[in-house]
A and B are shown apart, each in its own frame.
Chain A
Amino acid sequence: DQQVKQNSPSLSVQEGRISILNCDYTNSMFDYFLWYKKYPAEGPTFLISISSIKDKNEDGRFTVFLNKSAKHLSLHIVPSQPGDSAVYFCAASEIGYGNKLVFGAGTILRVKS
Chain B
Amino acid sequence: NAGVMQNPRHLVRRRGQEARLRCSPMKGHSHVYWYRQLPEEGLKFMVYLQKENIIDESGMPKERFSAEFPKEGPSILRIQQVVRGDSAAYFCASSRDWDRGETQYFGPGTRLLVL
The reply on B44 being an interface residue by CB < 8 A is yes
A106: which B residues are within 8 A, CB to CB? 42
Residue of A nearest to B40 (CB): A105
* Segment from B13-21, B64-72, B74-82, B102-110 that makes contact with A: B102-110
The reply on B63 being an interface residue by CB < 8 A is no
The reply on B52 being an interface residue by CB < 8 A is no
User: Which of A46, A91, A97, A103 interacts with B105 by CB under 8 Å?
Assistant: A46
Is there an interface contact between B42 and A104, defined as CB atoms closer than 8 Å? yes
The reply on A32 being an interface residue by CB < 8 A is yes
Is there an interface contact between B33 and A99, defined as CB atoms closer than 8 Å? yes
Q: How far is the CA of A32 from the CA of B55 in the complex (A)?
A: 20
Is there an interface contact between A98 and B108, defined as CB atoms closer than 8 Å? no
Residues of chain B from 6 to 49 with CB closer than 8 A to chain A in the complex: 6, 31, 33, 35, 40-45, 48
- Please list 18 pairs of residues, one from A and one from B, whose beta carbons are closer than 8 Å in the complex, sorted by A's number: A32-B100, A32-B101, A42-B108, A43-B93, A43-B107, A43-B108, A45-B106, A98-B48, A98-B55, A98-B98, A99-B31, A99-B33, A99-B95, A101-B35, A101-B43, A101-B104, A103-B42, A105-B42
Chain A residues in the interface with B (C-beta under 8 A): 4, 6, 32, 36, 41-46, 49, 89, 91, 93, 97-106
